[in-house]
Structure 1
Amino acid sequence: MIDWVISMAPPSPDGGQSQGPGMFLSFIVPMIFVGLIFYFVLIKPQKKQHQEVQKMRDNLEEGANIITTGGIHGTVKKVKDDIVTLQIADNVRIKINRASIGTVKN
């Protein structure tokens, strides 16, 4: 089956010799173009979003209403280093890691 596919391929114009540096450039230029598209469409927006989330977590203050990444709603009662104390109900407080804060509600 594979022999049949290979036999159907057109012969190379120079009898099977390598194409030289022109072949390399015709491959590398589109790859660079795809890399640039990948950077501007995926990497740069993700980096910007990560910086905004980090800024939001760094500027966290007592009294802020937040939602954790696990979906728990609560009010910040105390912030100490990377530990945040949340009040999620009357007389119910939990300690969470600052990195688990998903959003701050206004």
Structure 2
Amino acid sequence: MDLTLAQEAGGSSLLSLLPFLIILLLFVPLFLNGRKQRRQMQETQAMQSALEDGDVVITTSGLRGTIVDASYEDTIDLEIADGVVTTWLRVAIREKVAPDTTSEDDSADSSGSTGTSESKPTIH
């Protein structure tokens, strides 16, 4: 009889820890996700503050343009077409386009030795 009481007492101590273990298991992923978001935000802010004239960027609305004036603290001027310059907030810049990707696309188009004639739509 004393043996069964001892087993029940040991089992109840584990049951009393169960809510704390469940809470711990729920908050660990939340904590790790918060750290990941904070790191991504810092990387984005560093990219936005390091923008220079001539960089090709994409805004949060999907507009692609070339920076013509990045001398202001909060805004930049983007050339979105020949002679069309618009002013944007720096925080509206989502990503910087790597210059290597545009030159590879141009060289692939200019080689044209594939033999197939694909017609690409022109966006105006």
5 Å-filtered alignment, 1:17-32, equals: 24-32=16-24
- The TM-score normalised by the length of structure 1 is 0.73
The runs of 5 or more residues in structure 2 that have no matched partner are 1-11, 99-124
Alignment counterpart, residue 85 of structure 1, candidates 61, 64, 77: 77
Alignment counterpart, residue 51 of structure 1, candidates 25, 37, 42: 42
Q: What letter matches 1:38 in structure 2?
A: L
Deviations 1:6-54 (A, max 9, x none): xxxxxxxxxxxxxx987553212220222012212x2121111111111
- The TM-score normalised by the length of structure 2 is 0.63
Give distance in 2, aligned partners of 1:82 and 1:57. 10
Give distance in 2, aligned partners of 1:102 and 1:30. 38
Cα displacement (A) at 1:55: 0.8
* Greater helix content: 2
- Please give the secondary structure, in 2, of the residue aligned with 1:70: coil
Give distance in 1, aligned partners of 2:63 and 2:29. 37
Partner of residue 72, structure 1: 63
The runs of 5 or more residues in structure 1 that have no matched partner are 1-19
Q: What letter matches 2:50 in structure 1?
A: N
Partner of residue 86, structure 2: 94
Deviations 1:58-78 (A, max 9, x none): 111111000101111110011
Give distance in 1, aligned partners of 2:87 and 2:67. 10
Alignment counterpart, residue 39 of structure 1, candidates 31, 35, 48: 31
- Please give the secondary structure, in 1, of the residue aligned with 2:51: coil
